[in-house]
Structure 1
Amino acid sequence: MQKQNPENLIPLVKELERYIALKDKRNDAVSKSDVAWQIDHSLKVLNLVTNSIIHSNPEDYKWRFNKWRLLLFTLGYIPRGKAKAPKIVKPPEVITLDDLKAQVQLAYNNVERLKPLNKNASFTHFVFGQLNRDKTIQFLKLHTNHHLKIIKDML
């Protein structure tokens, strides 16, 4: 398996950060949410997943085949509207500029925290199952790109 570099997440966080200025834009033909929702959700996922994997026990990791992980990670694509965001990563009703900026800074810090992790540090996703460090980084790239594409289509 190809080693995933956490540094590859930095340009994605920077891109999310650039869209903050357009946070109130919406396009109901593309999404029921606004740009702020997409940014907030993406950052919540990145930050909470990072926190989860950092606090995992590498000895608990066990690889298991998962057809959805194989298919979607190979395609590099998450289809729209097929999964609902878990409550913990749903944005609040009011998303403030200060909160988005704080989450961006936390995301930059969390990318750094991914670098020294054991290859078997893991995160369990509700569809893709248990993901080791490299698959978690791959998931974060896939997920963030998914929401960046939605933002671009909205604008």
Structure 2
Amino acid sequence: MKNNLDALLNQLEHYISKNETINLQVSQSTVGWQIEHSLLTINGVVSAVHKSNPKDYHWKFSLIKIMVLATKKIPRGKAKAPKVVVPKADITCADLEHHLAKARDTVKSLELVSRDNYFEHPYFGKLKLKETIRFLEIHTTHHLNIIEDIVNNK
């Protein structure tokens, strides 16, 4: 299954050197926090997909899921990140490089997963593999847009 996650990881890598950049008019978080959050999300979500049992999947209607997946947009400042994907306080470039390497391997591992495996999102419910990948692309793009706004002083 082809996805854009590799290209998005390359874009995140481009901003690692700007790790400590902050623009309080855009976000309370640094560029490093945005990168780390994106990588923690990718690594955590893919791990959950691997651990899921396709027999436990049950479709459930979710308007917010339909809206986000259809528009490919996540509204800014509307959701709070689950604690498991909230970065620690001091994020170094070395931490980011380490998590990026892990994310590259993690993304490759999606090729080995059944299309019926899933991830249970706190707001969207259960997402099968194809929807999970689309969510990760949308989520990573969302944070890349924030990073670009921080760096470009928008």
Regarding TM over 0.5, the answer is: yes
- AA at the equivalent of 2:76: R
Identical aligned residues as a percent: 42
- Partners of 2:137 and 2:101 lie apart in 1 by 17
- AA at the equivalent of 1:120: D
* Aligned-residue offset at 1:102: 0.6
Aligned to 1:36: 32
Q: After the TM superposition, which parts of structure 1 deviate over 4 Å for at least 4 consecutive aligned residues? A: none
* Aligned-residue offset at 1:116: 2.0
Aligned to 1:108: 104
Unaligned runs of 5+ in 2: none
Aligned to 2:79: 83
Aligned length: 151
Root-mean-square deviation (CA), in Å? 0.9
- AA at the equivalent of 2:49: I
Aligned to 1:63: 59
- If the length of structure 1 is used for normalisation, what is the TM-score? 0.95
Matched, 1:150 2:146: yes
User: Secondary structure of the residue that 1:115 maps to in structure 2?
Assistant: helix
Please list the CA deviations of residues 32-84 of structure 1 after superposition, one character each: whole Å capped at 9, or x if unmatched.
11100000000000000011101111111122211100111101100000001
Please list the CA deviations of residues 5-24 of structure 1 after superposition, one character each: whole Å capped at 9, or x if unmatched.
24x10000111011001111
* Aligned-residue offset at 1:96: 1.5
Please list the CA deviations of residues 70-109 of structure 1 after superposition, one character each: whole Å capped at 9, or x if unmatched.
1111011000000011111000010112111010000100
